[in-house]
Amino acid sequence: MPKDKKNKDAIKEKIKEKLKQLSEEEPNRDDSTRESTQEEKTEEVEEKIDVPTDTESAELEEPNSEVSSSEASEEPKVEIVDEQPKEEEKRKMKVPLLANYSFESENIPISVKIVKLGDFVPRYEITTPTVDAWTRKMLESKLRGELVSEVKLDISEILDPKKFDEVKAKFMEGARRIIDRNFKEQLPDPRARNILSVYLLQNTLGLGKLESLLADEQLEEIVINNSQEPIWVYHKRAGWCKSNILLESEEQIYDYASTIARKIGRQINILNPTLDAHLPTGDRVNATLFPISQFGNTLTIRKFSKNPWTITTLIKSATVSPEVAALIWLCMQNELSLLVTGGTGSGKTSFLNAISAFIPANQRIISIEDTRELTLPKFLQWVPMVVREANPEGKGEITMLDLMINALRMRPDRIIVGEIRRQREAEILFEAMHTGHSVYATLHADNTEQTISRLTNPPINIPPQMLDALSGVVVTFRHRRFNIRRVLEFSEILKKGEFNVLHRWTIKEAGEGFTDKIKQISKMTRLTEQLSLYAGMDDREIADNVAEKVSVLKWMVKQGYESVDQVGRIVSNYYVDPDGVLEVVKKNQSWNFDE
């Protein structure tokens, strides 16, 4: 015993000496080093990640476990918690913050944070109010069936996209009644009950976990590759990101795809393992099933923008220059046909939608698309048409070719086609141009040369002589490394399929470094001839008219007029009273949209 006591005393003395030594060294630390560690060159966020202990983990309930009879007899315990991202390490982490914003969906607050962790891509962390596991099981197993029984609607009403908002409102009213009956005493706060009502609605009529992602206007794509990896999203500013949402199983992915298919009268199963569809909101959907997709079931949703890009939005983001936009405006005012081409995701349809506002209000427009994406000003005379796929029996198909032939019998002044894919479609399109219709369409091609090559070679194989009816080609381009979209080229089409590039985007010039400008590289020849022939304009008048339009476009950008109806109304007023619009522009006044 005395020996043990002696050892303990010796250890205590060593500890005291060490503490004394550390206290003497502390004041001598280099102050400059301490200050430099506090300076950050990039904006950073500090977050503390808590990992539950083994005891806490044992108390958590698995969402998919069944409710026992003893639990079912207990009084429901409802707890509203914030769903926070989980990490493996229990420590403080400093990570660059790329984006941080919030929005509301169905009066539910949602916050988004995009951070750069140690991965190759950013992490998209979405935080939504959620409920505890016991309440989720009750909502999904019992109350969902009650909601379907309570809302008395015919299946035709539920499947009708025109009545989507009306059906959704009725289901929301039913969900609130059910939640009030079951949880009013436990949850006196109406906001908490609204969270449960929305959860019940989204898991009955909607797509469950995907609804919060669909509500984010900053997202362009939502992608599920399989149930083993998190959902991927394409963010407008950050590009591809991994989200903090993970689906439980392959069956859940299949359920989402099957739900989407049923709403449009389609099926997806082992015999038909692929699906092309759209949501009631217009979002495009593609789904595949294992083993067609080897790693598991997939779901790809390309979101339909509720606030489509306008020409002022594109000028503001430097996608197109005011000079090129004004020249396109002049061409469309004088009914010259144009093609918008580019690679996948380059913004072809968005650009086509933006320039459609240049069409005069006194003309009839027919648009033909696979899935409706275009949004034109409300006051235009516009008839949107979409294709229809065959039913499971192989009957009732309406192709784009059928719609194009039919459109020519509808007395259109302008025809807008979503995309040219096949020879017969292209033949009808160019035949429409030759018979006096102004046509605007999109095509997959990376530049003007490839556009002409695709049109004049199989499978489209249009004779070069027919291209004379086409006046110009706008090429859009997405630079994935810089995450920007630009108009790469604007070219005029010459005789027999030849072309002349008028404007081209330059990324870098000798001695200037990164320029990011759209520059004029040659003068107009064919466009000048056409404008002289059809509008009686000489070179000077063309230049003056383009300059006028440039001033109007810059004024609209400065005033912040970015909605489809605002831009369309100003353009239509310019056609009726150009001097009146130019007077407002010259004085830099605001436009009165109430008149």
Residue 591 has pLDDT above 80, yes or no: yes
| Structural domain ending residue among the three candidates 278, 302, 326 | 302
Q: Are 547 and 586 in contact (CB under 8 A)?
A: no
Residue 508: in which H helix or E strand, if any?
A: strand 499-509
Mean pLDDT of the chain: 85
447 with 554, same domain: the answer is: yes
569 with 454, same domain: the answer is: yes
pLDDT, residue 83, reads 45
Average pLDDT over residues 362-386: 93
| Structural domain ending residue among the three candidates 277, 302, 327 | 302
pLDDT, residue 219, reads 95
pLDDT, residue 508, reads 80
Residue 105 has pLDDT above 50, yes or no: yes
pLDDT, residue 281, reads 84
Q: Are 564 and 377 in contact (CB under 8 A)?
A: yes
Q: Is residue 205 part of a domain?
A: yes
Residue 299 has pLDDT above 90, yes or no: yes
329 with 357, same domain: the answer is: yes
149 with 290, same domain: the answer is: yes
229 with 83, same domain: the answer is: yes
Q: Is residue 575 part of a domain?
A: yes
More reliable by pLDDT, 137 or 293: 293
pLDDT, residue 368, reads 95
Confidence of residue 391 (pLDDT cuts 50, 70, 90): confident
292 with 438, same domain: the answer is: no
pLDDT, residue 392, reads 74
pLDDT, residue 227, reads 96
Q: Is residue 32 part of a domain?
A: no
| Structural domain ending residue among the three candidates 269, 302, 335 | 302
User: The tokens of 274 are what?
Assistant: 């692929």
The tally of domains found in the chain comes to: 2
Q: Over the stretch 467-499, which tens digit does the pLDDT of each residue have?
A: 999 999 999 999 988 889 999 999 999 998 999
| Helix/strand/coil for 285 | strand
Q: Over the stretch 441-471, which tens digit does the pLDDT of each residue have?
A: 999 999 999 999 999 999 999 999 999 999 9
Confidence of residue 26 (pLDDT cuts 50, 70, 90): very low
More reliable by pLDDT, 157 or 361: 361
Q: What is the residue range of 384's domain? A: 318-586
256 with 351, same domain: the answer is: no
Smallest CA-to-CA distance from 329 within 508, 500, 551 is with 551
Q: Are strands 219-224 and 129-131 parallel, antiparallel or unpaired?
A: unpaired
264 with 405, same domain: the answer is: no
pLDDT, residue 246, reads 95
More reliable by pLDDT, 85 or 193: 193
Most confident of 60-64, 358-362, 422-426: 358-362
Smallest CA-to-CA distance from 94 within 34, 30, 35, 47 is with 47
pLDDT, residue 36, reads 38
The DSSP code for 505 is E
Q: Are strands 513-520 and 364-369 parallel, antiparallel or unpaired?
A: unpaired
Q: Is residue 47 part of a domain?
A: no
Confidence of residue 574 (pLDDT cuts 50, 70, 90): very high
Q: Over the stretch 233-253, which tens digit does the pLDDT of each residue have?
A: 999 989 999 999 999 999 999
Residue 499: in which H helix or E strand, if any?
A: strand 499-509
Measure the CA–CA gap between 569 and 563, rounded to whole angstroms.
10
Residue 153 has pLDDT above 60, yes or no: yes
Q: Is residue 362 part of a domain?
A: yes
Q: Is residue 36 part of a domain?
A: no
pLDDT, residue 43, reads 40
Give the contacts of 411 (CB within 8 A, at least 6 positions apart).
364
Residue 50 has pLDDT above 60, yes or no: no
Domain CATH code at residue 169: 3.30.450.380
Q: Over the stretch 60-74, which tens digit does the pLDDT of each residue have?
A: 333 333 344 334 334
Q: Over the stretch 348-357, which tens digit does the pLDDT of each residue have?
A: 999 999 999 9
Q: Is residue 254 part of a domain?
A: yes
Q: Is residue 28 part of a domain?
A: no
Q: Over the stretch 274-290, which tens digit does the pLDDT of each residue have?
A: 999 888 888 999 999 99
Confidence of residue 8 (pLDDT cuts 50, 70, 90): low
pLDDT, residue 12, reads 57
Domain CATH code at residue 535: 3.40.50.300
pLDDT, residue 511, reads 66
H helical segments located in 408-441: 423-434
Confidence of residue 231 (pLDDT cuts 50, 70, 90): very high
Residue 372 has pLDDT above 90, yes or no: no
330 with 292, same domain: the answer is: no
> CA 591, 594, 595: angle at the middle one, nearest 5?
85
* Percentage with pLDDT > 90 across the chain: 60
Residue 20 has pLDDT above 80, yes or no: no
* Percentage with pLDDT > 70 across the chain: 84
Measure the CA–CA gap between 202 and 11, rounded to whole angstroms.
64
The DSSP code for 287 is E
115 with 251, same domain: the answer is: yes
Q: Over the stretch 168-227, which tens digit does the pLDDT of each residue have?
A: 899 999 999 999 998 888 888 888 899 999 999 998 888 999 999 999 999 999 999 999
Q: Are strands 108-115 and 472-479 parallel, antiparallel or unpaired?
A: unpaired
Average pLDDT over residues 305-333: 94
Residue 201: in which H helix or E strand, if any?
A: helix 190-204
332 with 286, same domain: the answer is: no
Measure the CA–CA gap between 277 and 291, rounded to whole angstroms.
20
361 with 233, same domain: the answer is: no
